[in-house]
Structure 1
Amino acid sequence: DITQIRCQEGWLYIAVVLDLGTRQIVGRAMGPVNCSQLVIAALKQAWRRQKPAGRDLLFHSDQGSQYRSEEVLSWLNDRKVTISMSRRGNCWDNACAESVFALLKKEWTRPLGEIGRDEMASEVRYYT
């Protein structure tokens, strides 16, 4: 999933890939623009860390434009990953990622206030 945190220069967007078996963040990417490249970067990091067999994987996301982009779908299809998307407007399908983001914001970033984007990215890296 992707979330955003307000910074002095604007938003910091954070994309994460979770391993639902371990509930660990295995891929993460951050940047000033919410786009499919953020998703691809998080997927690549997760792929390098986990070294999975694509045929054995299920990638679940919401129906956001980043996840439905030709770029992301091609990247997943090239690796034979099964693609699953939440039902429209149903946040419960993505509860694990929403929970990670809620804790990140409540426990860590909200008390920091509006700081610079680079500093916020460092804080997010430390927390996750």
Structure 2
Amino acid sequence: MDKRMKAKIVRDALQMALCRRKMPRGVMVHSDRGSQYCSKQYKALVAKHDLTPSMSGKGNCYDNACAESFFHTLKVEMVHGESFTTREDMRRAIFEYIEVDYNRSIRHSANGYISPMAFERKMVA
């Protein structure tokens, strides 16, 4: 998270995810159509690691239901109605929600109704 949505932040996040997962190849990466995901540098990183980008079609949020569902869940269950004292407090709370709650326990229909972490383990095995 940063004060502005620049291409560098999404490249850094993708690089971190790749490193944490021992540089997988051929996996799908979901995103929206934000300019940071359309940048030459981001596209180059996706291509370098043989990833498959998944973006919604222009004006059609249903094309990328996985990403849209995640952000809806994050906003409704974590952010909506909360009051954060600092940006760092918000960053910490969102990180904890994603890494502890969402990835480990939220079941998603696109994953066969298992959590993202369980799905990842199943696909790696």
The TM-score normalised by the length of structure 2 is 0.66
Deviation at 1:52, TM superposition (A): 4.0
SS of residue matched to 2:73: helix
Mapping 1:1-128, distance limit 5 Å: 30-54=1-25, 56-128=26-98
Q: CA RMSD in A?
A: 1.9
Choose between structure 1 and 2: higher helix proportion. Answer: 2
Identical-pair percentage: 37
Counterpart of 2:70 in structure 1: which amino acid? V
Q: Which runs of 5+ in 1 are unaligned?
A: 1-29
Whole-angstrom CA distance in 2 between matches of 1:120 and 1:84: 27
The TM-score normalised by the length of structure 1 is 0.65
Partner of 2:122: none
SS of residue matched to 1:66: helix
Deviation at 1:39, TM superposition (A): 0.9
Greater relative contact order (Cα < 8 A, sep 6+) = 1
Whole-angstrom CA distance in 1 between matches of 2:93 and 2:21: 24
Q: How many residues align?
A: 98
Choose between structure 1 and 2: higher strand proportion. Answer: 1
